[in-house]
Structure 1
Amino acid sequence: MSETRPLDLTGDVGLLTAALVDVESVSGGEKALADAIETALAPLAHLTVVRDGEAVVARTDLGHAERVVVAGHIDTVPLAGNLPSRVEGDLLYGCGTSDMKSGVAVALKLAAALPSPARDVTYVFYDCEEIEAARNGLGRLARTRPELLAGDFAVLMEPTGGEIEGGCQGTLRAEVAARGKRSHSARSWYGVNAIHAVAPVLERLNSYRAREPVVDGLAYHEGLNAVGITGGVAGNVIPDECVVTVNYRFAPDRSLEEAQRHVREVFDGYEVRFTDGAPGARPGLTHPVAAAFARAVGGTPRAKLGWTDVSLFARLGVPAVNYGPGDPNLAHQADEHVALGAIAACERNMLAWLGAP
């Protein structure tokens, strides 16, 4: 691997985004980028820099009454032939441009440009967001160094198209199992076909009416869907088990336990096994510092239809929102890209907020 060039935190934010993109950082392989970020931040006298694994935390300590957290993950999904980055017109193409190295670039620019922000700021650049939750770097910090994430308000710089997205949905996955009895398919009447027995499960999903609750002024849209089905033993065997895997995306007015109870009710009469789950987070827009952020950024806040790490901040008692320059619909695509003008606009808005009393 070629040597990583030093990051220039004083130049154009679009060029900085391109430099970040060109340092490959697929989940689990973030060391080179974490090293470059730490090296760029360490000389800044107004910041205290802490390294935790492949996460880098930088903090001001000016004694302000308020502290805000600005966070972004530095990992990406696996490459799809989309490195190195390239520019076409106003668009920067490359793996992680939208999700979320453009947001990371904005945060790094803020860290360098604001030696005396109007609020104390903690900048968090963390690893392993794109893979299983057990390896999530922000989750690791929440478990082992929660004091580093303390604050009155947090901005997670996930791609939102430059609009505030409040809170996030919760998510869970469950296996809904039907049991049968094996037999030879030539004498099927001696068995009970488990694949046939899941037909009512699919019918319940087809007829399911998802809730669209309004939570703290923002409209959420839930979803309960089959995302996989497994069953079958051999081409001449009546199967004795069939499992439908379902994913429930639920609004933050329900706890994870309430969401699990709801799924059990929907599939009453079937065996339900929960395999994964994470609670949502209510919109973090009621705190005065959040209101100041909304005024500086402008636009109309909307609900986050998906799960993000604002949920982790919510569990720490820190209200948080999602806000970043990328388009979330382009995340993980081979032609992932971000508008250079959108990155610059995000930087201006964040500077106006953090620099204003």
Structure 2
Amino acid sequence: MEKRKDDKMSALKPAEFLYEIVKVYTPSGSESAVADLIVSQVEEEKGVECEVDEAGDVVVIINPDYKGSRELLLFSHMDTVHGEREAEKGKETISGRGAVDAKGPLASLLFASLCFTGKKLPFRLVFAGVVEEEISSSKGAWQLLKSRKPTLAINGEPSNTNCVVIGYKGRILVSGTARTEGGHASNPNQNSINQVVNFYNAMVAEFPVVKNSFEAVTASITKLTSDSQSPNANSAVSEFVFDVRLPPSVKCAKASVAISALAKKFAGIEIKLEERIDACETDLNSPVVRAYTQAMRENGLEPKYVRKSGSSDMNLFCQAGIPTVAYGPGDSALDHTDKEKILIKDLFKSIEVTKAVIRNLAESNKW
């Protein structure tokens, strides 16, 4: 499909729409207000099908008359982390909770897809705003995987306008309890906190040290509480959570076996392994990666390929065998902070880039 001057941005105004959805506080499980805003905006478009599925996702089919099997899915999450913050709109920026993660990317993908309303494409074009990405359920993504069969997918996440995310690390949450006899602090061997730290250090040492951070197994102690009531008394019971991040070379199944076996070597340690998801990495020769490479260059950008140490719904789609990348405006270093802000010019640039991606994929018969 050739790029034409009449390619519309849509009658909707992207910056105003983004400001409206950032104004609405939507922690995980409370996304319906943003879903309603998406529905009300999409209803202005003729020939587009829109529904809210049983999980609460908003699913928009741009060209429902297409009857073939190929499908390009653009999706991003409507929920944010907890912590309400007032939204602000200036001449150049929009700030507030979720502006970067991931309402800016969501708005970008929505408006890019709406530009193809009423146009013929050699594939089904679908946009979805999903629920509960910021918590372990990933309820919205699982529902999409259950109800749709996309050939390729684009996950709206902050990457800056000239970067496409091709990989995310995997994750295991290790939660557990340590029990010792407790007693006087002069006997450190009976301190449950010490036992947790010893187990943590042994777990980290279980995996090889590598210079490339994306290829390394890393872990953080994200929770540690104890029953100690005195500065000179050992804790008898401690509860802990380790957040373990895995590279593509270490599968969750392998890491789970190693961590479980190690825990048995520490008296009084009992663990539970939760939220197990493998790392993902999309091939640079994938049609969707090539389409972004070409699109960025068409828009005067030099493309960069990013592998992130976090995880996202993209992991689930790659795990299902669907070539997926993540893209969207915003600096991911601002994720989950009180400094989230999007440059309005980046919002518009990212829309143009993704429009070019859709056109490039429409011209390609290699997927």
Partner of 2:4: none
SS of residue matched to 1:58: strand
Greater alpha carbon shift after TM alignment, 195-204 vs 98-107: 195-204
Quick one: which amino acid aligns to residue 143 of structure 2? R
Greater alpha carbon shift after TM alignment, 21-30 vs 302-311: 21-30
Q: 1:79/1:202 Cα in 2 relative to 1: closer, same or farther (>3 Å)?
A: closer
Contact kept in structure 1, 2:169 and 2:309, CA below 8 Å? yes
Contact kept in structure 2, 1:210 and 1:224, CA below 8 Å? no
Contact kept in structure 1, 2:151 and 2:323, CA below 8 Å? yes
Partner of 2:3: none
Percent identity of equivalent pairs: 20
Partner of 1:4: none
- Indicate the RMSD between aligned Cα atoms, in angstroms: 3.0
SS of residue matched to 1:164: strand
User: What is the CA deviation profile of residues 232-264 of structure 1, one whole-angstrom value per residue up to 9, with x for unaligned ones?
Assistant: 343386443334432210012332211212334
Pick from 131, 137, 140 the counterpart of residue 140 of structure 2: 137
User: What is the CA deviation profile of residues 115-163 of structure 1, one whole-angstrom value per residue up to 9, with x for unaligned ones?
Assistant: 22454211111122223x2363222343xxx232x11111101111221
Contact kept in structure 1, 2:138 and 2:313, CA below 8 Å? no
Q: How far is the alpha carbon of 1:323 from its aligned partner?
A: 0.8
Q: How far is the alpha carbon of 1:171 from its aligned partner?
A: 0.9
* Structure-to-structure mapping, 1:284-299, within 5 angstroms: 284-285=282-283, 286-298=285-297, 299=303
CA distance in 2, matches of 1:246, 1:159: 26
CA distance in 2, matches of 1:156, 1:135: 13
Pick from 308, 332, 335 the counterpart of residue 312 of structure 2: 308
- Would you say 1:174 and 2:171 are equivalent positions? no
Q: 1:226/1:141 Cα in 2 relative to 1: closer, same or farther (>3 Å)?
A: same
Pick from 333, 338, 345 the counterpart of residue 341 of structure 1: 345
CA distance in 2, matches of 1:64, 1:348: 26
CA distance in 1, matches of 2:307, 2:349: 21
Quick one: which amino acid aligns to residue 160 of structure 1? S
Pick from 254, 276, 279 the counterpart of residue 277 of structure 2: 279
CA distance in 2, matches of 1:293, 1:96: 24
CA distance in 2, matches of 1:258, 1:209: 11
Q: How far is the alpha carbon of 1:23 from its aligned partner?
A: 3.1
Contact kept in structure 1, 2:288 and 2:324, CA below 8 Å? no
CA distance in 1, matches of 2:208, 2:246: 9
Contact kept in structure 2, 1:21 and 1:94, CA below 8 Å? yes
User: What is the CA deviation profile of residues 322-346 of structure 1, one whole-angstrom value per residue up to 9, with x for unaligned ones?
Assistant: 1111111112222210111211111
Q: How far is the alpha carbon of 1:64 from its aligned partner?
A: 5.3
Partner of 2:18: 17
* Long gaps (5+) in structure 1: 1-7
- Would you say 1:226 and 2:221 are equivalent positions? yes
Contact kept in structure 2, 1:174 and 1:272, CA below 8 Å? no
Q: 1:80/1:255 Cα in 2 relative to 1: closer, same or farther (>3 Å)?
A: same
Quick one: which amino acid aligns to residue 105 of structure 2? G
Partner of 2:45: 44
* Structure-to-structure mapping, 1:207-222, within 5 angstroms: 211-212=209-210, 219-222=214-217
Partner of 1:154: 153
CA distance in 1, matches of 2:191, 2:209: 33
